[in-house]
């Protein structure tokens, strides 16, 4: 039932609206931005990533996409993640309806100071995002987790299990695999991260990923990704969009298949290099 139909029925006395339901402001999308800050990313990469999100959040094209929705507003929250216990909120749930709203979020991102942290728990990031969606004081027509990362899951619950929990709740997971790294723990990355994300991370109706193979692609990639998430997509589940492609150009995933436990296996082989139990 759409928001305007609910309002009409409540006004006519045909539907009882509880206080809890009244507190749920309708929005087109409740969007969780989950941003990787694992130590495999260098300070330079963290800075580029931060600036890319800041520039995308208040870009005129993104604001225009928000205005074209049925409600003309979205709710968004953002957190940084690495290992299971390494999660930091950048900004809490915020409605974005105007350019001023978007400017405030952009400033919040620019004022943050990301620090590279140990391990990579994509599953932990997904499960944390689900908690945020459950607690959101908004009724999103679509619920989306936008997760970036430059390596496979190597800590916590297996990533496929976390994804299944999200899909059971009708939450869409989109991916931004970062396929370039010069950080400290780059030895834990894999060459086919886009295939891994396609096989093991993303899911739900219209889910997609935008691989980034060079950091100069990042600002455009995140901007386009936000526009597609805000505007919605046709049913193209499982297809892959490269960062340099036009929004309507999609590629079928590679015929390769990924071992969704590859990150855990790499960690087991190399954990002797670190002081981490």
- Rounded Cα distance between 33 and 113, Å, is 16
Element (H, E) at 230: helix 218-231
Q: Where residue 233 falls among pLDDT bands split at 50, 70, 90? A: low
φ, ψ of residue 21 in degrees (nearest 5): -65, -40
* Owner of token pair 């402001």: 25
pLDDT (tens digit, 9 = 90+) per residue, 92-125? 999 999 999 999 999 999 998 766 566 789 999 9
Asked whether residue 14 is domain-assigned, the answer is no
How far, CA to CA in Å, does 190 sit from each of 39, 152, 177, 204?
A: 15, 7, 11, 24
Asked whether residue 10 is domain-assigned, the answer is no
Reduce the DSSP state of residue 173 to 3 states and report it. Answer: strand
Alpha helices in 12-150 (DSSP H): 19-23, 43-57, 60-67, 99-110, 122-135
Mean pLDDT, all residues of the chain: 80
Beta-carbon contacts of 52 under 8 Å, excluding residues fewer than 6 positions away, are 218, 219, 221, 222
Asked whether residue 6 is domain-assigned, the answer is no
Reduce the DSSP state of residue 104 to 3 states and report it. Answer: helix
Asked whether residue 1 is domain-assigned, the answer is no
Question: Averaged over 199-223, what is the pLDDT?
Answer: 91
User: In the beta sheet, which residues pair with residue 250?
Assistant: none
* Other CB atoms within 10 Å distance of the CB of residue 132: 18
- What pLDDT is recorded for position 258? 78
Half-sphere exposure of 106 (CA within 13 A, CB side): 18
Asked whether residue 206 is domain-assigned, the answer is yes
- Rounded Cα distance between 192 and 256, Å, is 9
Q: Is residue 153 within 8 Å of residue 122, measured between CB atoms? A: yes
Asked whether residue 108 is domain-assigned, the answer is yes
Determine the structural domain holding residue 245 and report its residue range: 24-273
Q: Length of the chain in residues, anyone?
A: 277
The reported pTM is: 0.81
pLDDT (tens digit, 9 = 90+) per residue, 148-189? 988 899 888 999 999 999 999 999 999 999 887 555 555 567
Asked whether residue 9 is domain-assigned, the answer is no
Question: Averaged over 139-153, what is the pLDDT?
Answer: 93
What CATH number is given to the structural domain containing 101? 3.40.50.410
Q: Is residue 138 within 8 Å of residue 26, measured between CB atoms? A: yes
- pLDDT at position 69 over 60: yes
- What pLDDT is recorded for position 173? 97
Asked whether residue 64 is domain-assigned, the answer is yes
- Rounded Cα distance between 222 and 58, Å, is 12
Element (H, E) at 7: helix 3-11
Count how many domains the chain has: 1
Reduce the DSSP state of residue 191 to 3 states and report it. Answer: coil
């Amino acid at each position: 039932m759409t928001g305007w139909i609910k309002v009409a029925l409540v006004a006519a006395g045909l539907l009882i609206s509880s206080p809890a339901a009244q507190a749920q402001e309708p929005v087109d999308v409740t969007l969780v931005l989950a941003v990787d800050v694992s130590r495999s990313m260098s300070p330079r990469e963290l800075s580029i990533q931060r600036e890319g999100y800041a520039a995308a959040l208040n870009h005129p094209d993104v604001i225009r996409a928000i205005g074209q929705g049925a409600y003309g507003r979205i709710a968004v929250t953002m957190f940084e993640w690495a290992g299971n216990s390494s999660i930091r909120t950048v900004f809490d749930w915020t409605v974005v309806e105007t350019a001023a709203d978007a400017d405030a979020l952009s400033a919040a991102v620019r004022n943050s100071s990301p620090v590279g942290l140990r391990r990579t728990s994509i599953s932990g990031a997904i499960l944390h995002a689900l908690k945020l969606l459950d607690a959101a004081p908004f009724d999103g027509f679509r619920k989306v987790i936008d997760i970036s990362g430059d390596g496979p899951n190597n800590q916590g619950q297996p990533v496929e299990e976390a994804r299944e929990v999200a899909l059971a709740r009708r939450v869409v997971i989109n991916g931004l695999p970062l396929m370039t790294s010069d950080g400290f723990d780059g030895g834990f990355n894999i060459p086919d991260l886009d295939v891994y994300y396609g096989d093991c991370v993303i899911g739900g109706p219209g889910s997609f990923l935008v691989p980034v193979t060079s950091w100069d692609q990042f600002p455009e990639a995140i901007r386009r990704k936000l526009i597609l998430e805000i505007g919605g997509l046709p049913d193209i589940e499982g297809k892959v969009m490269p960062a340099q492609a036009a929004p309507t150009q999609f590629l079928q995933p590679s015929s390769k298949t990924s071992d969704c436990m590859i990150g855990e296996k790499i960690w087991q082989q190399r954990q002797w290099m670190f002081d981490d139990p």
